[in-house]
């Protein structure tokens, strides 16, 4: 079945650094979604991408829909402590399902 592979699995960075993570798929996706999960909470949608090559920003977050439609990237600029959490890529698979990658865990060192 369709799978989403995220890298890196975890990141340890200093506050103020920029962050880059990506997500790849063995098959084409027509929509890419990025969710963030804060500790102890459910995931929340950050950015949705609908077209190959699309670049979308949400504050300090920028996401891109890869032109091959098999990958997507998420960047966070000037990280702050509240950016800590798990970042998931996701996309529709089949009729009405949304599948998720295993996530990238972001840790910010004091």
Exactly one of 79, 103, 106, 108 binds another protein (CB under 8 A); that residue is: 103
Residue 39 makes contact with another protein by CB under 8 A: no
Residue from 14, 39, 42, 109 binding another protein (CB under 8 A):
42
Looking at the chain, the number of H-run helices and the number of E-run strands are 0, 11
Secondary structure of residue 83 in the 3-state scheme: helix
Secondary structure class of 81 (helix, strand, coil) = helix
Q: Mask 44-73, x = binds another protein (CB under 8 A)?
A: xx--x-------------------------
# of chain residues touching another protein (CB under 8 A): 21
H/E element, 45: strand 43-49
């Amino acid at each position: 079945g369709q799978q989403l592979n995220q890298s890196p699995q975890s990141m340890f960075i200093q506050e103020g650094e920029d962050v880059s993570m990506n997500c790849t798929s063995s098959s084409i996706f027509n929509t890419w979604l990025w969710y963030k999960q804060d500790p102890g909470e459910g995931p929340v949608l950050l950015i949705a991408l609908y077209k190959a090559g699309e670049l979308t920003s949400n504050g300090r977050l920028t996401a891109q829909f890869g032109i091959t439609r098999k990958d997507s990237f998420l960047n966070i600029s000037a990280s702050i402590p509240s950016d800590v959490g798990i970042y998931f890529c996701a996309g529709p698979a089949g009729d009405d399902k949304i599948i998720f990658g295993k996530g990238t865990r972001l840790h910010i060192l004091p």
